Structure 1
Amino acid sequence: MDLLFLGTGAGMPSRERNVSAIALRLHEERSSFWLFDCGEGTQHQVLRSPLRLSKLEYIFITHLHGDHLYGLPGLLSSRSNQGGETPVTIFGPKGLKDYLKISLEVSETYLRYDWKVVELGETGGTVIDDGQFEVTAKPLDHRIACFGYRVHEYDRPGTLLIDKLKAAGVPPGPVYGRLKAGETVTLEDGRTLNGAEFVGPPEKGRVVAILGDTRPCPEAVELASGADVLVHEATFDAELAELAKQFHHSTSRQAAEIARKAGAKQLVLTHISSRYQESGAEVLLEQARELLPGTTVAEDGAVVPVRRRP
């Protein structure tokens, strides 16, 4: 599992940063990827990446400002033209369904795959729970309805201790699968084996929190609680805190404060204003690292692994 940043700018594209879009790549977990926001030009960024649109499974829109949304009709159309056939579900605030329906109807765009929009209620809630992942949405503090998303991977069973089974004289076969499932099995020679004794400890599930535009708020802390990776906007530096408040955004230092309160293990800053061109984003990084030394600032094309932790 890793995060691929397709767009890390705020408001409008710049020479260095496209507008918001992040792919959560689930290589080993389910051979697909999920997309968080889809600003204008996202499909161009996908073409420069290893992503294949046919592998796109879910899209999560944080809010309906153009820099998070305008690339969506084109991306869906390109997915169809490139042979994508599996269903796509799109989550987001109220109004998203009308936006897409009108855009596709007026442009007479036909999608060869099934698609649906799930509009979130004001309080958000659980949007996916399939036994492998749970995705929760909560409202944030922005000028319009805006959500953050928490992706929680459930713990996975431990690995089967094959060397221990071989040492016990248990030949490979269907019995291995039953023991891995934790069953108690009686062998042909009369021995009874407890599956729990031949399986390693469970692999702890990972948590990724991806927040939309927001001022600091309790919901941001809740979504990021204990996260392995928190992706938080940092539109302004700390000297512009009043401007950030006025426009319902956060500073880099405020993002670090949220991460620290939440106990997040890694903070990645994104949604960087075009005022911080070239090396200008260093000030954002320095301010956040005063509170959270391991903070990074995302760049377009950056890959951030989401590692399993003990």
Structure 2
Amino acid sequence: MELYFLGTGAGMPTRGRNVTSVALNLMPERGTVWLFDAGEGTQHQMLRSPIKPGKLEFIFITHLHGDHLYGLPGLMTSRSYQGGDEPLTLFGPPGLRRFVETAFEVSGAHLDYEVRVREFEEGVVFEDEQFRVTAAKLEHRIDSYGFRIVERDTPGALDSARLTAEGFRPGPQYARLKRGETVTMPDGRTIDGRAYLGPELKGRTVAVFGDTRPCGSELELARGADVLVHEATYMHEKADNAHKYYHTTATQAAVLAAEAGVGALILTHLSSRYQDEAVHRLLEEARAIFPRSHVAEDFWSYVIPRRAE
């Protein structure tokens, strides 16, 4: 599981930072990629990255401001031309369906794959045997959401060497043993699969937030997450501006990370006023409160380790 940042700027693209988009690379876990936001130019950023549009399974839109949304029609259209024929599901606030349908109706674009649009308010927006995704409303000028992605715990590895040492040969029973079931083996012995499994692998938790100023719902979404991706549009000297325009400072994001007990904080959505040395000062501001802070750059990735590691 890896976060890959395609765009880390706020409002407008700059030479060094495109507007917002971050991919959650789940190729090892489920052979797909999830995308959070798709600002203008996201498909161009993908061309310079290892992220393949054809592998996109879900796109989550935090809110309907252009710097988080305007790249969606182009990305979806190009996906057809690049071998993407699997269904694509879009999750986002009410209005997302109208935006997508209008863009394709007016442009006459044609897609070679099924598109599913799921608009939500709050609560569980996706759940299967591997992951659960919850959304909660943040505090911004329009409805903006944060997502909490929880990977389910998985059983430990089957101790095949021990089974061999006890005289068992590989066979179809191994699949049931891996699930922790009690199995009668070909020689008549009955064994409990749980006794042959290594330590359970603890699932990881990722929190990805849209634009917001500090609010109560943030803490529950972020609590105990292995990594929190949070906007830091301003340094704290601009706290009045941040409040006025419904954004967050690096200091405020760091305070939240400390209170929530997250494993790491990644700051993104930086104002174009912060270049070069100013970015380092913004990072220092966050690390003074939460030392495990990072500032994302375009084409930078962060591998999310399992807690047991």
- For normalisation by structure 1, the TM-score amounts to 0.97
Alignment partners' CA distance in 1, 2:146 and 2:175: 39
Q: Partner letter of residue 269 of structure 2?
A: H
Equivalence map 1:42-57=2 (5 Å): 42-57=42-57
CA distance, structure 2, for counterparts of residue 42 and residue 207 of structure 1: 25
Given that residues 140 and 147 in structure 1 are in contact (C-alpha distance below 8 angstroms), is that contact kept between their aligned partners in structure 2? Answer: yes
Return the offset for 1:80: 1.0
The answer to whether 1:225 aligns with 2:223 is: yes
State the Cα deviation string for residues 68-93 of structure 1 (Å, max 9, x = none).
01100000010012221110111111
Alignment equivalent of 2:123, drawn from 122, 125, 146: 125
SS in 2 for 1:19: coil
2-side partners of 1:34 and 1:187: how far apart?
41
Cα offsets for 1:35-84 (capped at 9, x unmatched): 00000000000000111111000000001111001100000010012221
For residue 178 of structure 1, report the CA deviation from its aligned partner: 2.0
1:252 is aligned to: 250
Q: Is the 8 A contact 1:232 1:270 kept in 2?
A: yes
Q: For residues 171 and 259 of structure 1, do their structure 2 counterparts lie closer, same or farther at Cα, with a shift above 3 Å needed?
A: same
Q: Supply the distance in 1 between the matched residues of 2:186 and 2:280 (Cα, whole angstroms).
A: 67
After TM superposition, the structure 1 stretch with the greater mean CA deviation from structure 2, 167-176 or 210-219, is: 167-176
| Separation of aligned partners in 1, 2:187 and 2:207 | 51
Name the structure 2 match of 1:102.
102
1:187, distance to aligned residue in structure 2 (A): 3.1
Q: What is the 5 A alignment of 1:207-226? A: 207-226=205-224
Match of 1:146 in 2: 144
What CA distance in whole angstroms lies between the structure 2 residues aligned with 1:8 and 1:100? 23
Distance in 1 (CA, whole Å) between partners of 2:292 and 2:195 is 38
Unaligned regions of 5+ residues in structure 1, if any? none
Q: Provide the secondary structure at the position in 1 that maps to 2:63.
A: coil
Map of 1:9 onto structure 2: 9
- Cα distance per residue 1:171-203 (max 9 Å; x no partner): 111122222222222334443211111111211
SS in 1 for 2:12: coil
Give the direction of change, closer, same or farther, for the CA distance of 1:268–1:191 in structure 2 (3 Å limit).
same
Query: How many angstroms does 1:167 deviate by?
Result: 1.6
Choose 106-115 or 187-196, whichever is displaced more.
Answer: 187-196
Aligned mate of 1:289, from 259, 276, 287: 287
Partner of 1:116: 116
State the alpha-carbon separation in 1 of the partners of residues 39 and 176 from structure 2: 47
Other-structure match for 2:170? 172
Q: How does 1:37-116 map to 2 (within 5 A)?
A: 37-116=37-116
Query: What amino acid is aligned across from residue 13 of structure 1 in structure 2?
Result: P
Q: What letter matches 2:224 in structure 1?
A: G
- Secondary structure of 2:40's counterpart equals coil
The 3-state SS of whatever aligns with 1:169 is coil
Q: Check whether the contact 1:213–1:249 (CA below 8 A) recurs between aligned residues.
A: yes
Deviations 1:140-186 (A, max 9, x none): 00010000111100011110011111121111111222222222223
Q: Which stretch of structure 1 is more off in the superposition, 180-189 or 249-258?
A: 180-189
Query: Distance between the aligned counterparts of 1:140 and 1:187, measured in 2?
Result: 54
Once the two structures are TM-superposed, the CA of residue 120 in structure 1 deviates from its matched residue by 1.2
Distance in 2, matches of 1:52 and 1:189, equals 48
Identical aligned pairs, as a percentage? 56
Taking structure 1 as reference, are residues 279 and 196 closer, same or farther at Cα in structure 2, changes over 3 Å only? same
Q: Does 1:268 align with 2:266?
A: yes
Contact 1:127 1:135 (C-alpha < 8 Å) held by counterparts: yes
Q: CA shift at 1:280, angstroms?
A: 1.4
For 2:300, the equivalent position in structure 1 comes to 302
Match of 2:135 in 1: 137
In structure 1, how many angstroms separate the alpha carbons of the residues matched to 2:32 and 2:306? Answer: 19
TM-score (norm 2): 0.98
CA distance in 1, matches of 2:217, 2:152: 22
Instruction: Flag structure 2 segments of 5+ consecutive residues without an equivalent.
Output: none
Correspondences of 1:199-214 after superposition (within 5 Å): 199-214=197-212
Would you say the 8 A contact 1:16–1:278 is kept in 2? no
- SS of match in other structure, 2:219: helix
